[in-house]
Structure 1
Amino acid sequence: MRDEPAVDAAAEIHPAAAAEGAREYRINELAEAAEVPVRTLRYYQERKLLPPPRREGRIGLYSEDHLARLRVIGNLLERGHTLEGIRELLSAWEQGHDVAAVLGLEKTVTEPWSTETPVTMSLDELAELFPGEVHPEAVEQAVALGHIEIHGDQVTHWSSRQLESTVAIVRAGVPLTEVLAISERLQRSVDELADMFVTVIMKHVVGPLNASDLADQELTDLTDTLAQIRPGAELAVEAGFAKAMERRVRQEIDRVFGGLAATHRDPEEPQA
């Protein structure tokens, strides 16, 4: 994957009138040079990713700027950016921002918040992990929740850690259907938590800023700020859940042992 050239080439993509004597391309020539289909070039123009060509009668002529821009688009696609995201990045660059600074902010905001290792196995191997539990309804529910993807007779679970924890809970005696139901409710809860954090960050950190007026140093500062906030948000959720579990388990233990104490209390013993 060509990561760095995407940023390097961005320094050469500002749309400009073709310099006298510079190479110009008809659309089929540009497509060949950029190694993309003509229909893709037309689509990029429709999406405002590629500026219109210089017109000479009915013929459209494209410059080296267009070719460089197409190479940047290709590099950014390889990095996993969507076309809409690329359009916004190019727009930011055209407003005078350093694309490296914009990409740094984008990377901080969009990179995964946890590194999970997917695990692939056959349907038979999955059934062996949950004896008697893997029926069509459970599989369909797991797919709907995004836990697994099925390709032919192969199953890919998105997280080896979550799979291991699910196996442990089921082997402890909790039915798989119950675990999946809890997972669905948990997903709704963490979605609400994420919404709250994003709302607060947008209001107090990002909101007051005007993206069109941001200097490159401000973009860098914002990137650093978001990077600092990130572990705090993760810790708050993790610590809060741990504390809630500790409190709830203690309540349940007190209830169980309190009931046992009441059962075995001496009838002659005075009530507290």
Structure 2
Amino acid sequence: MTEKQEHREYRMDELARRAGITVRTLRFYRERKLLPPPRREGRIAWYDDHHLARLRTIAALLERGHTLTGIAELAEALDHGRDVADLLGVDPPSEEEPVRLTPEELAARFEGQVTPENLAAALDLGYLGTDGDEIVHISRRLLDVSSALVAEGIPLAEVLAAGKRVRDHVDELAEMFTDLVLRHATENDLARLRPLARSVVEAELSLALDRRLRKQSEPGQEP
């Protein structure tokens, strides 16, 4: 992408034409605070590709049944969300692959359940961060599992609540493993030995699920 393309600006009528809407609709969106303020140069308002991407997102979300009020609340949550630099730090997670999504792609993953409340919960958990008009999910594995659970009929709000509970438990497990290693090795050994900690947790969870499934199948237990 060239420097000129990166800083492309539009007057209101050109922006509306590129977005496929009327100038009147654009003014309405601006009044509803669905768009960030334009850059002012005297009496001229200049818009950029950030505004164009937001307008295309609004159109996509409207097609998916979101109301303008809901879209305004989603936009506010995203505008006040954590920046991707805060989410990932200097380097991305060493074993997790971040995923970049547009707001409409996120809405498509969780059809009808990307509400302001769920979005705020995901931002608070640190699952999501923002990078301009894109959303960054910190882990492809968590994103895939969450969308699979929602596809099975589990509400996204409950998936996020369960994720918070899991976070509390795994933080304790990570602290326990770190203390164990540092009592007998060096800090440099933590990264090398982390696959062992993951294997223990995966094996114990698998065994715990086996026990739970056997208990559920015992006579007298509700299905």
TM bucket, shorter chain: 0.5 to 0.7
2:167 matched to which residue of 1?
Answer: 187
| Deviation, structure 1 residue 146 | 1.0
TM superposition outliers: structure 1 runs of 4+ over 6 Å = none
Equivalent of 2:203 in 201, 216, 239: 239
| Deviation, structure 1 residue 111 | 9.7
Percent identity over paired residues:
38
1:150 matched to which residue of 2?
Answer: 130
| 1:51-62 correspondence to structure 2 within 5 Å | none
Tell me which amino acid in the other structure corresponds to 2:201: V
Tell me which amino acid in the other structure corresponds to 1:143: L
* Structure 2 unpaired stretches of 5+: 1-88
Is the partner of 1:168 in helix, strand or coil? helix
| 1:213-252 correspondence to structure 2 within 5 Å | 223=188, 226=190, 229-252=193-216
Cα deviation, 1:146-169, whole Å, max 9, x if unaligned, reads 111123432111122211111110
Is the partner of 2:129 in helix, strand or coil? strand
Cα deviation, 1:69-115, whole Å, max 9, x if unaligned, reads xxxxxxxxxxxx99xxxxxxxxxxxxxxxxxxxxxxxxxxx99552x
CA distance in 2, matches of 1:154, 1:123: 7
| Deviation, structure 1 residue 142 | 0.4
| Deviation, structure 1 residue 200 | 1.6
2:148 matched to which residue of 1?
Answer: 168
How does the TM-score come out when normalised to structure 1?
0.44
Over 3 Å counting, the alpha-carbon distance change for 1:231 and 1:259 in structure 2 is: closer
Over 3 Å counting, the alpha-carbon distance change for 1:167 and 1:255 in structure 2 is: farther
2:157 matched to which residue of 1?
Answer: 177
Contact 2:128/2:137 (<8 A) preserved: yes
2:182 matched to which residue of 1?
Answer: 202
Cα deviation, 1:147-196, whole Å, max 9, x if unaligned, reads 11123432111122211111110110110000000000101100000111
Over 3 Å counting, the alpha-carbon distance change for 1:254 and 1:113 in structure 2 is: farther
| 1:35-184 correspondence to structure 2 within 5 Å | 114=95, 116-184=96-164
Is the partner of 1:125 in helix, strand or coil? helix
| Deviation, structure 1 residue 255 | 5.5
Count matched residues. 135
CA distance in 2, matches of 1:229, 1:151: 33
